[in-house]
Amino acid sequence: LGLCDIRCIFNAVKTCIFPQITTIIQLLFIYYTGLQQISVPTYPNNVAQCDEDWELHGTKCYYFSPLSAKLPWKESRKMCQRLKGDLVKIESREEQEFLDGKLQTEMIHEEDKFWIGLTDSEAEGQWVWTDGSPLNSSLAFWADNDDNKEPDNWTVEDPEGEDCVRMGQKPFIEGLKWWYDRSCQIQHRSICAKTAKIL
């Protein structure tokens, strides 16, 4: 193999193969980011709309009930349904991040947590969302630290145990795992959600 041949091979790699590899990497990147967008769809404010007092995020509208409207879980759910929604079903890590951030401003104190639409009241340990779908374990954000290992179905406060889920952590601590099972009879504020109206 002469010097010219080596140079020819180098030029061939540079002009033919390298651009193709670059194109393949670019296509894979576009495909991957496309997938990301499909899994977390969003509408800009001029495309989707929410009722007054509801906040648009992604494809849903959210309502954070006021401190004056603390209710047991079942009554919280009825309140959301009267507003044509339901207690929120958290469907992505991004949605959990959004709600966790929102509660930083909504929560007045550490115990001012919010009900979400998750319960194991039908069968202990089988967590089900308000739409009847089972909890996806890869999208579960149970508190898991030195003070709390949830869900623990604690029976000291209520002999029936803890079958309803509340969330929120204030003051802010890094991490998203702030779900707790709690007695459904306790009164809390709620996060209601419904699909945004498309204009």
Minimum CB distance to Ca ion, residue 72 (Å): 15
Per DSSP bridges, beta strands 114-119 and 164-167 are antiparallel
Residues 107-146 that bind Ca ion (CB under 5 A): 120
Contacts with 164 (C-beta within 8 Å, 6 or more apart), sequence order: 73, 115, 118, 119, 121, 181, 182, 183, 184
Specify the stretch interacting with Ca ion by CB under 5 A; choose among 26-34, 101-109, 147-155, 169-177: 147-155
Min. distance of Cβ 115 from Ca ion in angstroms?
13
Task: Find tokens 């651009």 and name the residue.
Answer: 19
Q: How many angstroms from the chain centroid is the CA of residue 116?
A: 11
Among 51, 55, 144, 152, indicate the residue that binds Ca ion (CB under 5 A): 152
**Residues in the chain, overall count:** 199
Cα 147 versus chain centre, distance: 23
Q: Which is nearer to Ca ion, 182 or 189 (CB)?
A: 182
Q: How many residues bind Ca ion (CB under 5 A)?
A: 10
**153 binds Ca ion, rule: CB under 5 A:** yes
Q: Which residues bind Ca ion (CB under 5 A)?
A: 120, 150, 152-154, 161-163, 180-181
